[in-house]
Structure 1
Amino acid sequence: MSTPDFAAITTAAIDRMAEAPNARLRQILAVVLRHLHDAIRETRLTEAEWEAAIAFLTRTGQMCTAERQEFILLSDVLGVSMLVDALNHAAGDGVSESTVFGPFYAGRQPVLAAGASILKRPEEGTPLHMRGTVSTARGAPLAGALVEVWQTAPNGQYDVQDPQQPAGHLRASFETAADGSFAFATIVPVSYPIPDDGPVGALLEALGRHPNRPAHIHFMITAPGYRRLVTHLFIEGDPYLTSDAVFGVKQSLIVRPQAQADGSLGIDYAFTLADAPERHDE
């Protein structure tokens, strides 16, 4: 009986793509196939284990809806989202660091006046006044930059997860003033579990990992001629800062809210944007 030529199977699968018109697709898939085949050979994967993997991916796809993206959650908890972010958004000198986008962005919200509240109903959380500036890496203020923000309610859920919350609750957009400043009123965010009632949650349990993210506020900042910044601000002292389920914490993004005269808390933070990369049209 002849010994199977495992390497020949991999070579054949890659060679079969030689005529693919999209060179980049051909390049990426060739690398993915090579590593996937190597992993199967190295672990001597059984048919039952491969069937279980297919079933897991099938359940992941079936869990996806317009409000929930289970594949993004899977990418997040495996550290893939942060790796892609790190490759594509390395912060240069004087540039704010980015982090994962997450699955709960709900589209651009109406632009509110500076200092407006992003709450659409009363909440029992501690009042928080957020003040920020947006500037270039060279320190020039950026007027008219769009600052989009979103966060969870005190129950640990975003409005798109919780039918009891009004749409757009704890979400808003702001435009920076001539000096690059913006401000809004909110409540101190809380730590929360990512949705763990699906296959990604089952995977975390099987791996002995918790599903929790430390308290944070999401920011997405855009301005013509500058690279989009997607980031969070995390609250100092949160118990999950060192074990974020999606690996999104960076030291420069941890902030300490300061006590205000009215009993609320305040955060002041300076965001800096990198120049947009030059385009080289073919």
Structure 2
Amino acid sequence: MERAKIDAVLARIQETENPEQGDARIKEIVNRLTKDLFYAIEDLNISPEEIWKAVDWFTETGKNNEFGLVCAGTGLEHFLDVKMDDEEEQAGITGGTPRTIEGPLYVAGSPETLSYAELENEPEENGERLYMQGYVKDEDGKPVEGALVEIWHCNLKGMYSYFDSSQSAFNLRRAIRTGADGQYQFKSFLPVGYSCPPNGCTERLMFALGRHGSRPAHIHFFVTAPGFRKLTTQINIDGDPLLYDDFAFATREDLVPAVTRISAEEAEELGKDEAFASIDFNFNLIGERESLFSAENNRAHASL
């Protein structure tokens, strides 16, 4: 099919637009994506059968609320991070803790405590105890008082509270407010990696692409403070077999801190009653800049 004929179809569609009505930005985006889609259908000889199977897949994906996973698995969310990194670099902003994907499983309103939190509402059997601690610092290495460190991770079944009805509200979700020293610490356990819902839309897409739909063990964070750019990031747990094979492309070298094992004898000397794993990690925030994109993505979030 000649491009001229495709363009004629596009022109006919756009002729129905009232220039005085609607949203100019939405028109611009939809018209561009429609053009690219029509060209791709022609260039790849995509059949009507394939089109309607795709429509069915999109419908099912929406019903199953899996588009957040699809955005991660197709690399869209990672690309947005890289694009924001580039825009900051062009504006002369360097340093700071690297950002990486938020994922679709944050829940707003976690209980807030000062400097220290215990994430478990109920004990997790067979979990390896974890203490993670560090400081929130500014670009000069000074502590940031009043920063909010929001934390969330999955249980040993790879499930997140709120989305898993068997867990109590805000299990493994907390928010820590830093004091004058900028320090935070939390007690939890080392999480596990997990996979997309079995035979779900995301997993089927990944398999069709010759890929898997699994993630290494990780812990999510939002770090915010007045006058600073919001940090959305996560750490991956060193030693996980999928550490550098994350289907969501979230692993970044500076976000894989060392895990130190403390024996029961050493733990007793530190005032702890059991052996534990320890992770030290500092969050370095960047001061807000005028005329730069917002680091808050305004993504819709679940809440209680």
Deviation track 1:42-81 (CA, whole Å, cap 9, x = no partner) reads: 11111101111111111111112xxxxx111111111111
Q: CA deviation at 1:152?
A: 0.7
Q: Partner of 1:163: helix, strand, or coil? A: coil
The aligned residue for residue 50 of structure 2 is 49
Whether the aligned pair in 1 keeps the contact of 2:135 and 2:182 (CA below 8 Å) is yes
SS in 1 for 2:83: helix
**In structure 1, what is the Cα distance between the partners aligned to 2:221 and 2:207?**
30
Matching residue of 2:261: 259
Moved more, 116-125 or 156-165: 156-165
Letter in 2 for 1:86: V
Counterparts of 2:11 and 2:229, CA distance in 1: 39
Give the total of aligned pairs.
Answer: 274
Change (3 A) 1:238 1:118: same
Whether contact under 8 Å (2:216, 2:242) holds in the other structure is yes
Within 5 Å, give how 1:102-251 maps onto structure 2: 102-123=103-124, 124-251=126-253
Shift of 1:153: 0.7
User: 1:252-275, CA deviations, whole angstroms, 9 ceiling, x for partnerless residues?
Assistant: 111111123222111111111122
Trace 1:262-273 onto structure 2 (pairs within 5 A).
262=267, 263-273=275-285
Q: Say if 1:29 and 1:267 are closer, same or farther in 2 by CA, change over 3 A.
A: same
Structure 2 gap ranges (5+): 268-274, 293-304
**Residues 118-160 of structure 1 deviation map (CA, whole Å, 9 limit, x = unaligned):** 1111112111111021122232321101110000111111122
Contact kept? 2:196, 2:202, Cα under 8 Å:
no
Distance 2:232 2:198 in 1: 24
The aligned counterpart of 1:58 is 59
In structure 1, C-alpha distance between the alignment counterparts of 2:280 and 2:146, rounded to whole Å: 19
Paired with 2:165 and 2:103, the residues of 1 have a C-alpha distance of: 20
Instruction: Point out the more displaced range, 160-169 or 6-15.
Output: 6-15
Say if 1:95 and 1:4 are closer, same or farther in 2 by CA, change over 3 A. closer
Q: Structure 2 CA distance, aligned partners of 1:228 and 1:185? A: 24
Whether contact under 8 Å (1:76, 1:247) holds in the other structure is yes
Residue 34 of structure 2 aligns to a residue in which SS?
helix
Contact 2:116-2:176 at 8 Å conserved across structures: no
**1:278 and 2:279 aligned:** no
Query: What RMSD in Å do the two structures reach over aligned CA positions?
Result: 2.2
Contact 2:117/2:174 (8 A) holds in 1: no
Decide whether the 8 Å contact of 1:93 with 1:137 is kept in 2.
no
